Structure 1
Amino acid sequence: MSRLLSQSHFQQMIRSLFFLFPAVAVAQTEVVKNDEANAIGPNLPPRKVEAELFQVPEGFEVTVWASTPQLFNPTNIDIDAKGRIWACEGVRYRSHVKRQPAGDRVVVMKDTDGDGKADSSHTFVQEKALIAPLGIGVFDNKVFVAQPPELIVYTDVNRNLVFDEGTDTREVILTGFNARNHDHSLHSVTMGPDGKFYFNVGNCGAIFKDKDDREFVIGGPYRGGGGQYFVENEKRGGEKSADGHVWTAGATFRMNEDGSEVEVVGHGYRNSYEQTLTSFGDMFQNDNDDPPACRVSYILEYGCAGYFSRDGRRGYRAEKRPNQEHWRNHWRQDDPGTMDAGDVYGGGSPTGVAFYENGAMGEDFVGTLLACEPGRNVIFSYQPEPEKGTFKLDRSDFMTSNTTNEFLGSDFVGGTRGKKQDEFEDHLLFRPSDIAVGPDGALYVSDWYDARVGGHGDLDDSCSGTIYRIAPKGFTPSVPQFDASTIEGAITALRSPAVNVRYLGYRGLQEKGEEALAAVKELIKTEENPFVAARGIWLLPQLGEQGVAVCEEVLQDENPQNRIAALRALLRSGQDILPHAKALAGDSDPGVRRDVALALRDLPAAQTKEIFATLAQQVEFTDKNSVEAIGLGAALQEDEIWQHLRQEMGATDPLKWDERFAKLTWRLWPVSAVADLKARALATELTPEERAFAVESIAFIDHTDSVEAMLSLADQGSPSRRAAMDWLFRRGTGEWAKYDVLPELKKRGIYDPNSITVTSVTVPAPPKKNQYSTADVLALTGDAEKGKAKAMGCVMCHQINGVGVSYGPNLAGWGKGQPREVIARSIVEPSFDISHGFKGSIVETKKGETVHGLVTSPGNPLMIVSTGGVEQMIPKKMIKSQKDLKRSLMLSSDQLGLTAQDVADIVAFLKVYE
């Protein structure tokens, strides 16, 4: 009998059970066996969204594969080679950590009779240490579970699908990830076509060592949202990791199966829930917002998404430019050192992703990226097409229960707005947490059924969960059987639609070495599906010298995606990449050239500068990722490479630079370019735009020389004085604060904290009772044309039709996906729900001034922007107190003098305004 439950409590629970699970509970300090009571979720009737409520592409159907009580609150799923679905559960999610004392579980579900429905479900492992784990990856008999602060591997030694202590093993392969029971933490492990293991962590960050004892610091100032934190990465922002580079949270990692040879392959995220790799090695993810700037994007290798500042010490708001669109600021799209944001679709709460390459869905869906979006009750689909240094991502709804696009329960629409779980219509309760491709070629979706999504909360006390299958109508599942220890069986596994099953084929063929070369070459030669054929390319360098030679031949393939895969395969297998990079530097395809630049990273500049010169002279300089790839490839050696480019590109006269060289200089931030950039900033023969760009380029060079140049440019008589002053204030309170910029500004008469005058700017409290309610507005019919005219009165705080101040959220497109009620309430009662990132502050000075606004930089001076876009700098020594405003910075409709009809008209306008 478990020591966690009394005898009477146990008997009471047994009498109330509607379903029992066989269970083995394994804790770090105690073992609980054969105690079914600890394995169940709450004893409430299970619920689900019925399959007929879903809309999917023509010719396909949605069926229920498994549902509560077969599983509870699924956070993440994986599918093994036998078609069994493994799920992590989050019964103890957030405030419900005491709900299941024996811990959360990993469950295994099986369809033993092949009828397309699970008829068996049991606990693989249950531990007190498991608290809403957010990731699972199953590779043969090894089960990776993401449970902060640890990445755990359970090895099912006797292969009975139950973790038996004493027989099976439990190993913590990595530890140091913030934070337990937090959505922005450690996520699932997936396999890449290179045989490497990939996983990520959200913006809670991490400090950990890999199995080679190399330390990685994933820094960032975020420490919110509750949960349990383990490392103080926020204090080490800007510190280099063992690889010599600075990384910011969140981040994606690549490693060997045992946790060795860890590499950071992307960083600067908000909260990427999962990554997926194509068989060509292209990596995609979705990412959370703060506020509406959710996105689906291609991950540029080593690239930064821009959520934090470059040194990981400040949030994106501290880097905001005047009148910059929120989403561009959120992902720092106008700054050097960030990758292309991809498809930024607005508000949401993205979770699992998958890439479909082959299987039962048919040829039309080969190459489809699928992304779960529970905040919008949908799974998006994309057919990524190479476009210069990135991919074109056109979004469609693949599976949805919500065809009206009026959302509820997510942060971006004000949460549940006071409604209880039972008051929600079923179609609004579909919250897909993950999607995976099965070895039978069908798609499987796990649903965390709930009224609430985001905001670190949930409302469904039944902890209901469902796994849906999407397949052609009348589909009969068939899971290929194979023996991966044979070449034939390994090829069968490599062809699998299920990504982690392909690992078995990769490993089996890799172990065969040269013996497997003929079979792999035949796969590449005869396979019509380009993704399946590409899987063989990655194996070639692993199959002896002849395999390497064949891979080198693929570098000349007519398909640029194959050339990219071959280059990546050679690089990942440790081959000398320089001769291949040199040969491909003049390639006609910008994607190939992008990867050549990335392949040069951390190689000596003396060996790479000639290749960079070839790349630079044909770089797609208007494409963010193409320019960024050169910067990433030249990392830590920018000065030497820039000086070589300057000579080779004929740019020794700074006043005769072309746009290409100016853009490369902007991204490389070389100290040796400061004098040339200063000359350009002072040159009246250049256009104002060219001078301003030179000043901006100086601003991103982190060195005393650039500070001195900027101070000089701020002197009286400089044609770039205004731009220089703007950058000095922003950089002086940010990355340049260590250079004591502010005292120098005082000395030069540019900024004197003793002469600062603070102007009170306050937002009056709303009336205790409005003249009319949201319901009164909703009872009226609005006129969009009249609403358009009325809405122009909002330009003091919002941008509309390109006019206005970027202070409040940009209203373009915001209302189209919102219910009328949400739009109306946000105008009538703006304090009812305040968007993430727009919560105001009250700053009171020692002299009695009061300023309400958004703090954009908490440094010294504190920078705060108020109604109308008025920005003030307040020296710390003048501040008496700073606290949350606890109400909206926006005036209510009553205060604005709007009638109920005026609001109805504005609502009508915002519903159609794009």
Structure 2
Amino acid sequence: MNSPKTSYRLIKSTRYRSNKMLATLLILCISGFFLSCQKEVPAPPFSLEERYFSDSTGLYLPEDLEATLWAESPQFFNPTNMDVDARGRIWVTEALNYRLFRNDPEKFKNHEEGDRVVILEDKDGDGKAETSNVFVQDSDLTAPLGISVIGNKVIVSSGPSIIIYTDENGDDKPDKKEVFLTGFGGLDHDHGLHAVVAGPDGKYYFNAGNAGPHIVTDKSGWTLRSGSLYNGGSPHMKDNKPGMVSDDGKMWVGGIALRINPDGTGMNVLGHNFRNSYELALDSYGNMWQNDNDDDGNKGVRVSWLMEGGNMGYFNADGSRRWQADRRPGQSTVRAHWHQDDPGVLPMGDSTGAGSPTGVTFYESDLLGEKYRGTLLAGEAGRNVILAYKPEPMGAGFRLKRHNLITSLREEEVEEAQSRTTGIDKTKWFRPSDVLVGTDGAIYVADWYDGMVGGHRMIDSTGYGRIYRITPKGKNLPKPEIDLSSTEGQIAALLNPAVNVRNAGFALLAEKGDAAVEAVKEILNDENPYHRARAIWLLATMGAEGIAVVEGQLKADNPDLRMTAFRALRQAKSDFVPYARQLSSDPSPAVRREVAVALRDLPQDQVEEILIALASQHEGGDRYYVEALGLAMDGKEEAIFPVLQQELGGDPLTWKPGYADLVWRLHPSQAVESLKERALSTELSAAERQQSVAALGFISDQKAVNAMQEIAASEILGVNERALWWLRYRRNNEWNAFAMQIPELEANISPEIQKEMLALKAILESPTASKGEKIKAGKAMAGDRIGGIMLLALAEKKALSEDLMGEISPEIFQNPEQATRVLAGDYFTLAAKPDALSVSEITALEGDPTKGKLVYQGKCATCHRIGDEGRNIGPNLSMIGAKLDQQGLMDAIINPSAGVAFGYEMWMVTLKDETVAAGFLQADGPIVVLEGMQNEAYNIPSEEIASRKRFARSIMPEPAELDMDEADVAHLTAYLVGLNSEGD
């Protein structure tokens, strides 16, 4: 560890309480077996060769920074989010009342009056908070996930509402409470509302996870409707369905990013189809940054730049299908997970493996040192680290190179800790829930201290939490005094490192209009380009004189400032097309990208010339640019294709790469014959042919179906096989109404077995059959895979007498399908249920990893995969040891139903002909697709469904039901805690 590659300074803890497991924070939407990934991280750009050691906090940082413990419980509890006010005080939202309907309020510290917002202050400047005051405690606050202090308004995100508390007299108590917006999904749910942040334009930005549907009306009457397969505590759950359309005429899906005016009007969507982006961060150019959690076990957590209007690809385009239903042959898990090969989906950004992403912020100050300016900071609780990025331009987008800025152990100590099988796992000591830049330029990190929090579960009963302060080594960062009564003080606020504090200066200067233009113009000479960008946004709001200054910035040497000027002018003036025309040939693809996305909703006759100019400069290979062109031509694909073909196309076999990419992105029906010709041409490369086949697969037209059948019947190897796959795949969704003749592939419900079970079911329902006949029929069904599910369906609609259920119970708990045996517990009574295992006994045992592997192979591999061993029914466990410590693993094994991850809920569907299917829901559209427990596919036309039931219980049995004793669990956890291999 003497290499400069990993040159970090350790700050060792003396503050941890001796017998506490130091662990997890708000891990998003994880349950049962949670998964993680600790990929090799490139060398930090911030590290120097010498390593320093100090007895302080137990964190590693670049050698020129230091960490101190700034505040800890009981000053506050379970911190989910932070903000800072103009006085430099830190405001914290607490989540003591997190999922108390599952986390026993008799065991966990909680507040009957509701969760709280707490103000912390370091009054004497010694680097530690001395005071802690409760600003508000409210029964409407249940595990709030976001807080913003903007002027005298405290904006708290607590699903289903964004609530604004106004302190009108400055006494640190709310004088007014307003429900700013409501109707979001995610009541007491990790995938709900997240923090509001003031953008450099003075507007509010925020996001919400995919716990929809979100049906929200702003104060001007505009309504958002965002639905998908997933429900999560929404007040509109009964209304949830894929394909809902908002008042802008667009279909927004899943997790969503929004912008709104401070008065609550003008809400609009900036991006969608996330799983659960924890927070949105904006830099002063107006770029949006976020992270996103994957389905547990798929090693696809990401940190991304968000293009305005972009689809981030979690569900399919209308939200009716999960990624598993759309996975293509040979496609990696991560690319399939985020639909990366689908037209209309943005690049994922940096895939960080598996984990639990949390708060994000963008550091623009020089106070930590100039090298930290322009750093994106992303909390990653699952990997015990604050990740750092210095985004680099890459075509029309960004390259994100990941580095560990703040973490809990050196590299070899991480490996050493993961090889241990007993004791406290130090890799779980640091679980950042949020990262914040203070008014002093220091970085503040909130740490929710828990053995397993998130996925609706907690272990720590005390609500312990911490906040760390990161500063330059040996340098005091004083808290500035901000005087908002003068122009000079307002400019100081505008240039402050703290994001929402800047808004105070922005708003007051904007009110002055022309009178402050000269003072604001001076900022354009600032060395820091982010400061100059803030001035550009502000000047665009300051009347004709200010707009004239911004127009001059369209010719700035810095392309980021040209882009900022265009963004600001686009908001300031309704007719921004002349500016778009001016920049349509800009040398920067990022500037041209911004022009493209701005044209999305404008009529073609106004922007056709600009669109052709933008498209002509696409040379291929830049996914960000082609997606921007796709957004620009959204709704115009068919009308503009003849123009594009005339100007840029020609002979299909001689299309340039950039034009071929654009046709793939637009996939108009008029291109069917050209795409077929390219797919069947041996003059083109295999990749070019496959691109044409994929483009055809996204055209919902009988002509595309016919072309695909011709390709499938060809003798061109590879292409014909892929075309056949597209036909079989599309038959179950967008092409189900079209005529096609293809060989069958997927197995549906067996008609022979169903017929036999239906005959037995008829006996159970017969008013004339004897009790003995019914018992015999019921026992026969209970011993069959399909029959067992039918019995569950009968029990669900209370069609079986208590006597009959009592007779059937012993047999159904011997059903050959494990899921049926487990789910039967919702209806039937197991006469001799095994005793629950003793947690204290398990804890007292020393587990043997070698024996634990045998337990896995004998008890767990039927559902869970590790490396190349096991089955992919439950979450992949290959990286479980990098996320959970032994106590967390033990809890997940002993209490599998404490929280069920999205995608691993069992569904039972009863058809109108009384046949039954059960499995994991993969798609919910014209064809409902279930994946059964033997990985078989059930493709069920929606019109044939009579009823459906989603089980709350996990299909993973409790250990005693698998004949596991305390020693087995101890050995198993010892084995799992050491796992950290990729094993896809």
Q: When the two structures are superposed, what TM-score results if normalisation uses the length of structure 1?
A: 0.79
> Which of the numbers 340, 353, 360 marks the counterpart of 1:353?
360
Q: Quick one: distance in 2 between partners of 1:255 and 1:202?
A: 17
Corresponding residue of 2:690: 692
Aligned to 2:486: 486
Residues 1:176 and 2:183 aligned together: yes
Cα offsets for 1:206-262 (capped at 9, x unmatched): 1111121011111111115xxx32013863421221112111121111111111111
Q: Which residue in the other structure is 2:467 paired with?
A: 467
Paired letter, 1:243: D
Return the offset for 1:692.
3.1
Partner of 1:140: 151
Task: Give the alignment of 1:803-818 within 5 angstroms.
Answer: 814=879, 817=882
Provide the rounded CA distance (Å) in 1 between the counterparts of 2:927 and 2:489: 66
Q: 1:547 to 1:220 in 2, by over 3 A?
A: same
Residue 131 to residue 837, structure 1, CA distance change in 2 (3 Å): closer
1:214 aligns with 2:222: yes
The structural deviation recorded for 1:549 is 2.0
Between 284-293 and 835-844, the greater mean CA deviation after superposition: 835-844
Separation of aligned partners in 1, 2:255 and 2:539: 33
2:325 — aligned with what?
318
Cα offset for 1:468?
Answer: 1.5
Tell me if structure 2 keeps the 8 A contact 1:815–1:823.
no
User: Could you list the per-position Cα deviations for residues 414-442 of structure 1 after superposition, in whole angstroms to 9, with x for gaps in the alignment?
Assistant: xx99x9xxx74566243211111111111
Computed over aligned residues only, the root mean square deviation of the Cα atoms, in angstroms, reads 4.7
Matched to 1:461, the amino acid is S
Matched, 1:668 2:666: yes
Give the alignment partner of residue 114 of structure 2, picking from 97, 103, 117: 103
Write the letter of the residue equivalent to 1:81.
A
Structure 1 window deviating more from structure 2 (86-95 vs 700-709): it is 700-709
Please, which moves more after superposition, 698-707 or 813-822?
813-822
SS of the residue 2:582 aligns to:
helix
- 8 A contact 2:886–2:974 mirrored in 1: no
Distance in 2 (CA, whole Å) between partners of 1:496 and 1:842 is 52
**How does 1:884-899 map onto structure 2 within 5 Å?**
886-887=955-956
Distance apart, 1:295 and its partner CA: 1.0
Q: Which residue of 1 aligns with 2:455?
A: 455
Aligned-partner SS, 2:453: coil
Please state how far the C-alpha of 1:503 moved relative to its aligned partner.
0.4
Question: Taking structure 1 as reference, are residues 485 and 297 closer, same or farther at Cα in structure 2, changes over 3 Å only?
Answer: same
Structure 1 residues 208-357: aligned runs within 5 Å: 208-224=216-232, 228-232=233-237, 235-291=240-296, 292-357=299-364
Residues 1:708 and 1:491: Cα distance change in structure 2 (over 3 Å) = same
C-alpha distance in 1 between matches for 2:490 and 2:950: 62
Confirm or deny: 8 A CA contact 2:747 2:936 kept in the other structure.
Answer: no
Q: Report the 3-state secondary structure (helix = DSSP H, G, I; strand = E; otherwise coil) of the residue aligned with 1:352.
A: strand
1:542 match: secondary structure: coil
Offset of residue 708 of structure 1: 5.3
Show the 5 A alignment for 1:409-558.
424-425=424-425, 428-525=428-525, 527-558=526-557
Deviations 1:164-209 (CA, angstroms, capped at 9, x unpaired): xxxx221112111012110100111001111111011100131111
Moved more, 143-152 or 876-885: 876-885
SS at match of 2:60: coil
Q: Distance in 1 between matches of 2:885 and 2:190?
A: 30
Give the whole-Å Cα distance in 1 for the aligned partners of 2:553 and 2:650.
Answer: 39
Equivalent residue in structure 1 for 2:96, among 83, 88, 91: 91
What is the CA–CA distance in structure 1 between the aligned matches of 2:403 and 2:360, rounded to whole Å?
Answer: 14
Could you tell me which residue of structure 1 aligns to residue 130 of structure 2?
119
After superposition, the C-alpha distances for 1:555-578 in whole angstroms (9 at most, x for unaligned) are 111211111111111112225322
**For the Cα contact (< 8 Å) 1:177–1:230, is it kept in 2?**
yes
Structure 1 distance, partners of 2:295, 2:531, is 38
CA contact (8 A) 2:293 2:357 kept: yes
Distance, in Å, in 2 between the alignment partners of 1:675 and 1:632 is 24
Which residue of the partner structure matches residue 565 of structure 2?
A: 566
- SS class of match (2:57): helix
For residues 69-80 of structure 1, what are the structure 2 equivalents within 5 Å?
69-80=74-85
Greater alpha carbon shift after TM alignment, 332-341 vs 666-675: 666-675
Q: Using the alignment, how far apart are the partners of 1:752 and 1:321 within structure 2?
A: 15
1:81 deviation in Å? Answer: 0.4
Check whether the contact 2:456–2:898 (CA below 8 A) recurs between aligned residues: no
Counterpart CA distance in 2 for 1:159 and 1:125 is: 14
C-alpha separation in 2, matches of 1:800 and 1:71: 42
Contact 1:138 1:144 in 2 (8 A): yes
Deviations 1:378-404 (A, max 9, x none): 111111111112222111221222445
Query: Aligned in 2, Cα 1:97/1:750: closer, same or farther, shift over 3 Å?
Result: closer
User: CA 1:504 to 1:697, structure 2 compared with 1: closer, same or farther past 3 Å?
Assistant: same
1:399 aligned to 399, 402, 406, which one? 406
* 1:316 CA drift (Å): 2.1
The 8 Å contact of residues 220 and 234 in structure 1, kept in 2 or not, is answered as no
Q: How many residues align?
A: 826
Listed as ranges, the gaps of 5+ residues in structure 1 are: 1-48, 783-789, 895-900
Indicate if the aligned counterparts of 1:234 and 1:313 stay in contact, CA closer than 8 A: no
2:721 is aligned with 1:731 = no
How far did 1:713 drift? 5.1
Contact 2:156–2:162 (Cα < 8 Å) also in 1: yes
Matched to 1:129, the amino acid is D
The CA distance in 1 between the partners of 2:664 and 2:633, in whole Å, is 13
User: Is contact 1:681-1:695 (8 Å) kept?
Assistant: yes
Aligned position for 2:23:
none
| Residue type of the alignment partner of 2:573 | G
SS of the residue 1:690 aligns to: helix
Kindly indicate whether the alpha-carbon contact (under 8 Å) linking 1:797 and 1:869 is maintained by their aligned counterparts in 2: no
Kindly provide the CA deviation profile for residues 731-756 of structure 1, in whole angstroms up to 9, marking residues without a partner as x.
Answer: 2322344xx24xx336x777899998
CA contact (8 A) 1:326 1:810 kept: no
1:272 deviation in Å?
Answer: 0.8
Q: Structure 1 residue 459: deviation in Å?
A: 1.3
- 2:384 corresponding residue in structure 1: 377
Give 1:828-907 correspondences, 5 Å limit.
Answer: 839=904, 856-857=922-923, 886-887=955-956
Q: Distance in 1 between matches of 2:178 and 2:452?
A: 35
Asked whether the equivalents of residues 825 and 832 of structure 1 are also in contact (C-alpha less than 8 Å), the reply is: no
Give the structure-2-normalised TM-score.
Answer: 0.74
Query: 2:757 maps to which residue?
Result: none
- Give 1:469 shift: 1.0
Q: Residue 94 of structure 1 aligns to a residue in which SS?
A: coil
Displacement of 1:355 in angstroms is: 0.9
Q: Deviations over 1:438-472 (max 9, x none)?
A: 11111111121111133211111111122211112
Give yes or no for contact 1:250–1:269 (8 Å, CA) kept in 2.
Answer: yes
CA contact (8 A) 2:879 2:979 kept: no
Structure 1 residues 508 and 233: alpha-carbon distance in aligned structure 2, compared to 1, 3 A threshold: farther
The answer to whether the 8 A contact 1:359-1:440 is kept is no
CA contact (8 A) 1:843 1:879 kept: no
Query: 1:263 and 1:778, CA in 2 relative to 1: closer, same or farther beyond 3 A?
Result: same
User: Which ranges in structure 2 are unaligned for 5 or more consecutive residues?
Assistant: 1-53, 754-784, 787-814, 820-833, 835-841, 965-970
State which drifts further: 633-642 or 599-608: 633-642
- The answer to whether the aligner puts 1:778 opposite 2:849 as a matched pair is yes
Distance change >3 Å, CA 870–CA 469, structure 1 → 2? same
Counterpart residue number, 2:740: 745
SS of 1:697's equivalent in the other structure is helix
The Cα offsets for residues 334-362 of structure 1, whole Å up to 9 and x where unpaired, read as: 11111111111122111111111115311
Q: Which residue of 2 aligns with 1:128?
A: 139
Change (3 A) 1:536 1:752: closer
Structure with more contact order per residue of length (Cα contacts < 8 Å, sep ≥ 6): 2
TM-aligned CA deviation for residue 855 of structure 1: 5.8
